Amino acid sequence: MAQVLNSFFGGKADEKPIASGDADFADFAGVPDPAPDAFAAAGAAAGAGGAAAPAVTARPYTKWYNVHERYSLNDFKIEGIIFGLMAIVLIVHFVGTRLNRSKARAWAKAHAKLLAGEFALVGFGRVPSALAAQEDEGAALEALAAATTSADPSTLIKENSLFEFASYATGRQNVAFVDTKLKLIKRFNPFMVIAEYILSFFLESMPAPSDQLEATLYPFDGKEALTVAGLPAGSANKSTYDGFVWAIVNKDRMKGVRDDRFDVSITFTKDHAKLPPWLTVMSESAEITEALLTPELIKAAEVAGEALDYLIISDQPIDKPTTLDETAPRKRVFLKYRLPSNNDYESLLPIYSYFLKSADVLVQAAHLRAEVLRKVKAARESIAKEIRKADEEEKAEERALERERLRKQKRDAELSALDAKAQKKYLEREREKELRKAAKKSTMRG
């Protein structure tokens, strides 16, 4: 019967039926194993020749293994642009960094001899052997004053950042130490420099970027015993002088200096006939000006030219004091000037030299008459009075807030102890009381 049905549906009579256990694999029973075309062709050729086929080791040709045939340089345009920009940024960064370091080294080289002639310890090198050998601190001070070491430009200056360099000097009569900072243009980041130039064009309070020197001298002012032991009795009193605020300022920088510094804001401005026209005097008294405006300072300021921003002698804080402790006198001398682009410091050496010697001038000349001192002290007492008044007002406000908090706490406690009806009456009485107060205030105003 099966043979009849098989022949009826087109099957061959001699085909054997597939076992029921292999029914799931019936579709794959006669499928040959796959073979690559190259291997199949080689097998066919071997079969036709009747000989055994040799082992085929060659791979079929394909572009997958040849990158230069799959891609061209046009496919890497974006990557090329990115790497090109990165290379430009890195080159500018390294070139700008080298320029800043070269400018700092040029300043150090130009001022090394001057600093070595004024101070025993200059820069960040080791302590001179003449000082290290002294066991007694008094003898060390004498050796410090007599030391004639030459400053090494390589150790004279230290790099704090890519645009800020610092120098330090100590070991001089009347001077505790001198801090010098070079703030240079951020040449390693031209985008930031361009942004600063644009902002300076629109904002008057923001100056255009420039290479600047900012130096601060800290005089002993009779406090040698705090840092140096073994001094002869009475020697410290020889370095004292009266406290005040006095400055010569470039007129182009005058407004910014007055806005940025509290100490200069308490002075009055007046031109002086002996000074060049681009400079003005900011002082608390005309007598102070006559005592400090020496011929040496006038000549140094003229030679420096308009690169000089200011020379300030001050005993007041730079920032406006908010407490009485901040009003304590702290005497310092400040110098600021712009560095020349050609690294020629011949015109700026005299003003820097005068700055280093300014403590000597102050010890000799800055002893004011009683009338001038009363005027100077009156200004400081006025500042202290304003601070005390502001402090008292702040404390009074805090006390008022505390009383209000306690009153509200007591009211809430009283309300929570009452029932709903009593609370309503309490709130009505409170409202009536507030209305009476408001009416009374309006009557008094009328």
User: Could you tell me if 251 and 393 lie in one domain?
Assistant: no
Q: Which of 376, 391, 417 marks a domain boundary?
A: 376
Q: What domain count does the chain have?
A: 2
pLDDT band at residue 277 using 50, 70 and 90 as cut-offs? very high
Domain boundary residue, one of 376, 391, 409: 376
Q: Do 226 and 340 fall into the same domain?
A: yes
> In one letter, which amino acid is 80?
G
pLDDT single digits (tens) 407-443: 888 888 888 888 888 888 888 888 888 888 888 777 7
DSSP letter for 368, please: -
Tell me the per-residue pLDDT of 89-109, one tens digit each, with 9 for 90 and over.
999 999 999 999 999 999 999
The percent helix, strand, coil of the chain (3-state, each to 5) is 55, 15, 30
Q: Is the pLDDT of residue 35 over 80?
A: no
Residue showing tokens 């045939």: 69
Query: Is residue 408, in this structure, part of any structural domain at all?
Result: yes
Max CA separation in the chain (angstroms): 144
Residue 393 belongs to a domain: yes
Q: Any idea what DSSP says for residue 224?
A: G
Q: Do residues 265 and 412 both lie within one domain?
A: no
Report if residue 356 sits inside a domain: yes
Q: What is the pLDDT of residue 200?
A: 86
- Extended strands (E) in 148-235: 157-159, 164-172, 175-183, 212-219
pLDDT in tens, 326-346: 888 899 999 999 999 999 999
152 and 225, same structural domain? yes
Residues 348 and 391 in one domain: no
**What pTM, to 2 d.p., does this model score?**
0.74
Quote the pLDDT of residue 281.
95
**CB of 258 closer than 8 Å to CB of 265:** yes
- pLDDT confidence bin for 5, thresholds 50/70/90: very low
Say yes or no: 319 and 427 in one domain. no
Residue 223's closest CA among 187, 172, 177, 176?
176
- Looking up tokens 């609370």 gives 423
42 part of a folded domain = no
Domain of 87 in residue numbering reads as 82-376
Q: In sequence order, which residues have a C-beta less than 8 Å from that of residue 305 and are 6 or more positions away? A: 278, 347
Please, are residues 163 and 186 in contact by the beta-carbon 8 Å criterion? yes
Question: Rounded to whole angstroms, how far apart are CA atoms 8 and 425?
Answer: 110
In this predicted model, which residue has the larger pLDDT, 14 or 216?
A: 216
Q: 141 and 241 in one domain?
A: yes
Confidence bin at 188 (pLDDT 50/70/90): very high
The average pLDDT across 78-99 equals 93
Same domain membership, residue 406 and residue 272 = no
Q: Do residues 270 and 355 touch, judged by C-beta distance below 8 A?
A: no
What is the SS3 assignment for 377? Answer: helix
Answer yes or no: do 147 and 205 share one domain: yes
Q: How far apart are CA 290 and CA 52, in angstroms?
A: 119
Over the stretch 133-177, which tens digit does the pLDDT of each residue have? 444 545 544 555 444 445 677 788 999 999 999 999 998 889 999
Alpha-carbon span 345 to 341, nearest angstrom: 10
Residue 11 lies in a domain: no
Q: Residue 124 and residue 156: Cα distance in Å, rounded?
A: 6
The residue among 357, 376, 395 that closes a domain is 376
Q: Domain check: are 277 and 318 in the same one? A: yes
Strand partners, 222: none
Statement to judge: residues 372 and 415 lie in one domain? no
User: What is the Rg, in whole angstroms, of the alpha carbon atoms belonging to the chain?
Assistant: 44
Considering the domain boundaries, does residue 16 fall inside one?
no
pLDDT of residue 124: 83
Q: Within a domain: residue 361?
A: yes
Whether 357 and 401 map to the same domain: the answer is no
236 falls within a domain: yes
